[in-house]
Amino acid sequence: MRDAAPETIYLSDYSPFGFVVDEVTLTFDLHPENTRVKSRTAFRPNPAATDRTFFLHGENLKLINASIDGTPVAPDVSDKGLTCDVPDGPFIWESEVEIDPQGNTALEGLYMSNGMYCTQCEAEGFRKITYYPDRPDVMSVFTVIINGPHPVLLSNGNPVASSEGHAEWHDPWPKPAYLFALVAGELIAHADTFTTASGRKVDLNLYVRPGDEGKCAFGMQALKDSMKWDEEVYGRKYDLDLFNIVAVDDFNMGAMENKGLNIFNSSAVLASPETSTDMNFERIEAIIAHEYFHNWTGNRITCRDWFQLCLKEGLTVYRDSQFTSDMRSAAVKRIGDVIDLRGRQFAEDQGPLAHPVRPESFQEINNFYTATVYEKGAEVIGMLKRLVGDDAYATALDLYFERHDGDAATIEDWLKVFEDTTGRDLTQFKRWYSQAGTPRLKVIEDWADDTLTLTFTQHTPPSAATPEPQPLVIPISVGLIGPIGDEVAETRVLEMTEASQSFTFDGLAARPVASILRGFSAPVVLDHDLNDTERALLLAHDTDPFNRWEAGRTLARKSLLSMIREGTAPDRAYLDGILAVLRDETLDPAYRALMMGLPSQSDLATALHDAGEVPEPDLIYAATETMRAAMARRFRDVLPALYADNLVTAEYRPDAEQSGKRALANSALALITRTDGGVQAQAQYGAADNMTQQLSGLANLIRADRGSAALKAFEAQWKNDRLVMDKWFGLQVIEADPEDAADVAAALTDHPDFNWKNPNRFRAVFGSLVMHHAGFHHHSGKGYQLLADWLIKLDPVNPQTTARMCSAFQSWPRYDDDRKALITAELDRILAQPTLSRDVTEMLTRIRKA
């Protein structure tokens, strides 16, 4: 229902709940349309609180009965929850409600997916299961009884009893309601064990639907690797005798860290060489690690309120990126993360949805599971570590775990641990948590008397969220490369705290080229006016792998921008520099593959907008195509060997080494296809025994305009595999010509397997359309209109997935007047719907305000 004016929640209004919950027992009698949930909850007055209003959250619940200390009561029920008079001292609250899991298409609370029951409670889904103080600072010990005719009945913690149709679970660790989980269904367990460093033997299970047993081995190995890594690197051991993961087909997000019972989108856990790409494997490994790491950073130490979301998410993303760096290539991981940050977080920070890493208000918290909270939140932790050093970081983390175990904590608690262990004052650093916007960092060089002076100026563009940004603490990693390519000064971290500040390097024999922001040491936009020769020197010789890649990327961006603006030819120096990199066989193939990438079309649009210009998607697309064609010509001599040498023929392994080679071979194939009309792609498609090569073969065939037979064959081969069919849906949109993309997407929505209520399938089509910059922004407006039609259709069914997809429109203010008019008309059309979820209302209102 449309909230006339959805309520806004403020960080500054926090106050503790008036009661403490010592324990809760939930009894579920499962039934698809009318599941009964009994709760028995022990409350007592909270000595730390003054307000004793007894309010329990509850939504879409049918209250059957309620009692206090055994005496029936008649609470005051609204659509948000209930209030009731309660005794002065401790008391037992009991209630019984009826819910409808089958009718729950929003996939929040208890719902059904392919005949199985499952839950998603973060952030505020538990209130759709029973009446309860659904807030993360209320932590309690849960006992769960499940009655249902399913062979597998799961909840958090340890099993205490089970018989046919009945199971009882007890979780000894107090937890907030958002970490509650229940699963019931006909599932198969892929089982294994892990023994912790202290000798605790932990049973591990990955539960899947019959038919998916063959896709479990990799996820299980990733889990064991994660458990070991967290012991070795953070000293964190697992704390139950059982750890379960369940794969679910209908899921709004990637996965969820429920205590002892992680629930995963099947796309984020199921993998096999035949059905998953190398990128899928890497992502799955990272998400398994992420959810597992939450057991300490999120579960043992949770958040006081949802404004503190980055406390667990930023830290856990940071931890999973460290894990991936250790398991694979640190340089490749860092570059991938920066590409992602620029594509998603910078875009968010520069548009109407900009918000600080710790927001100060929201209407719907689900709208704040953003790239800013997650990815910029992780960058902030990386900066903190860079500033204090690795050892001090380790000491601070030990104290964090010791001091706050069992707490619902805040960003203040987190920073205090660093202040107490290092003696630093982090008052200024804390602005990273409270200010929105991507800082611009400008550097000017001065060379005199053997001394290089770097003068930095920082400027954060004001936004609605942060009208008056203040100077930040910025760690700037700098090294110096001499004129013949030798490193004359190793990496040093400059700590910038002023709006403008100079640093000197003296005793230099000749003027060096400064390699600035090594490792992307801060999430800023760097403006460093090097000439092309200097950049070419860094591209050839920088010892910092990130900045070496960045030099190539900057040359590419500059060349593309002048191609777009002035119609110039692709830059020779750039092409020659990349060619030299490709020829260098000492370089990791994965790294060389990254060097062949170009800035995304939407990144180019952002760069033009930043320069005060209006991006034209068709010109950006054309320039990118021209550059690709130039690369195909310039690299022609090396491409066949690059392809042949890196086409792995050994038995498939999804590790860094093999996947790096396949990435390089596939990058070569994409250029070869531009000149051979798809002959090589056809050969690869026909011979492939793994999805990485099959899918890239197919993509290149589509690009060469000879994809139709392969698309049919692919569909026939994989029609029963949901995850592979998602790729089939998505690829056709991604690879379509700009003028066709919206039509291809529209046609796919008529396909019998376009199950639009499944978030993965919906995103396969529309997420791909949105990613197709020139296709989505086609001047006809048909891309905008199609998406708006489907958002209107999906919102009543699944507000959360609809709201996330709304961010496709966030960049509208940067386009030309015609496109602006087209987009705002669609925004207004959606906003004019008679019923609109709170999720979508908040998103579109924020976007529209720009």
**Closest distance between Zn ion and the C-beta of residue 370, in Å?**
12
571 binds ligand ARG (CB under 6 A): no
Q: Which of 291, 375, 735, 842 is catalytic?
A: 291
3-state secondary structure of 615: coil
Does residue number 309 form part of the binding site for ligand ARG (CB under 6 A)? no
For ligand ARG, which residue has the nearest CB? Answer: 369
Smallest distance from ligand ARG to CB 375, Å: 12
Q: How far is the CB of 735 from ligand ARG (least distance, A)?
A: 30
Regarding 806 and contact with ligand ARG (CB under 6 A), the answer is no
**How would you classify residue 485: left for phi > 0, otherwise alpha for psi between -120 and 50, otherwise beta?**
left
Partner from Zn ion, ligand ARG, none binding residue 122, C-beta < 5-8 Å depending on class = ligand ARG
Interface residue with ligand ARG among 168, 230, 257, 842 (CB under 6 A) is 257
Nearest distance in Å: CB 246, ligand ARG: 14
Q: Is 246 in the site for ligand ARG (CB under 6 A)?
A: no
Minimum gap (Å) between residue 293 Cβ and Zn ion: 8
Show the binding pattern over residues 311-330: x = contacts Zn ion (CB under 5 A), - = does not. --x--x--------------
CA angle 824, 800, 333 (to 5 degrees): 95
Please list every residue from 103 through 122 that binds ligand ARG, using CB under 6 A: 122
User: Is 366 an interacting residue with respect to ligand ARG (CB under 6 A)?
Assistant: yes
Measured distance CA(509)–CA(481) in Å, rounded: 12
- Binding site partner of 305, from ligand ARG, Zn ion, none, Cβ cut-off 5-8 A by kind: none
Cα–Cα distance measured from residue 379 to residue 373, given in angstroms and rounded to the nearest whole number? 10
How is 322-376 classified by DSSP, letter by letter? HHHHHHS-HHHHHHHHHHHIIIIIIHHHTSTT---SS-SEES-GGGG--HIIIII
What minimum distance in Å lies between the beta carbon of 109 and ligand ARG?
11
> What 3-state DSSP class applies to 499?
coil
Any residues with CB less than 8 A from the CB of 702 and at least 6 apart, and which?
Answer: 710, 711, 731, 732, 735, 736
Q: What is the separation of C-alpha 331 from the centre of its chain, rounded to a whole number of angstroms?
A: 19
**Torsion angle, CA of 75/77/82/86, rounded to 10 degrees?**
-10
Provide the β-strand partners of residue 203. Answer: 193, 242
Distance of closest approach, residue 178 Cβ to ligand ARG, in angstroms: 8
Q: Which amino acid is at 468?
A: E
By CB under 6 A, tell whether 496 contacts ligand ARG: no
Nearer to Zn ion, 316 or 329 (CB): 316
User: Are 850 and 812 contacting, i.e. CB atoms less than 8 angstroms apart?
Assistant: yes
One of 14, 369, 401, 756 touching ligand ARG (CB under 6 A): 369
Helices first, then strands: H and E counts in the chain: 29, 31
Distance (Å, whole) CA 142 – CA 513: 61
Cβ at position 257, least distance to ligand ARG in Å: 5
337 contact choice in ligand ARG, Zn ion, none (CB below 5 to 8 Å, kind-dependent): none
Q: Kindly tell me which of 262 and 272 has the beta carbon lying closer to ligand ARG.
A: 262
Size of the site for ligand ARG (CB under 6 A): 12
Name the residue nearer to Zn ion (CB basis): 249 or 313: 313
Task: Report the chain's terminal Cα–Cα distance, integer Å.
Answer: 25
CA distances from 400 to 410, 411, 724 (A): 11, 11, 42
Distance CA 775, CA 773 (A): 5
DSSP summary character for residue 215:
G
Residues 464 to 523 in contact with Zn ion, rule: CB under 5 A: none
Segment interacting with ligand ARG (CB under 6 A) among 249-257, 395-403, 685-693, 779-787: 249-257
Structure-block tokens of residue 181: 């989980």
Phi and psi, residue 148, nearest 5°: -175, 155
Is residue 738 within 8 Å of residue 231, measured between CB atoms? Answer: no
Is position 760 an interface residue for ligand ARG (rule: CB under 6 A)?
no
Stretch that binds Zn ion, among 29-37, 310-318, 351-359, 739-747 (CB under 5 A): 310-318
Segment near ligand ARG (CB under 6 A); pick from 255-263, 266-274, 334-342, 768-776: 255-263
Residues in the chain: 850
In whole angstroms, the minimum distance from the beta carbon of 313 to Zn ion comes to: 5
Task: Using only the alpha carbons of the chain, give its radius of gyration.
Answer: 27
Quick check: 14 binds ligand ARG (CB under 6 A)? no
Q: State the nearest-atom distance from the C-beta of 283 to ligand ARG, in Å.
A: 13
Which residue, among 477, 472, 474, 441, has the nearest Cα to 356 in the 3D structure?
472
For 58, half-sphere exposure in the C-beta direction (CA atoms, 13 angstrom radius) is 23
User: Residue from 84, 167, 256, 327 that binds ligand ARG (CB under 6 A)?
Assistant: 256
Rule CB under 6 A: is residue 253 a binding residue for ligand ARG? yes
In the DSSP assignment, the letter for residue 684 is: H
Residue 316 tokens read as 């856990």
Site for ligand ARG in 598-657 (CB under 6 A): none
Site mask for ligand ARG (CB under 6 A), range 456-495, x = bound = ----------------------------------------
Site string for ligand ARG, 120-139 (x = CB under 6 A): --xx----------------
Instruction: Establish if 313 lies at the interface with ligand ARG (CB under 6 A).
Output: yes
Angle at 713 between CA 708 and CA 718, to 5 degrees: 125
Active site residue 291: yes
Binding piece for ligand ARG, criterion CB under 6 A, among 247-255, 467-475, 519-527, 724-732: 247-255
Tokens of 683: 């050969």
Residues near ligand ARG (CB under 6 A) are: 122-123, 252-253, 255-257, 290-291, 313, 366, 369
The catalytic residues are 291
- Per CB under 5 A, residues contacting Zn ion are 313, 316
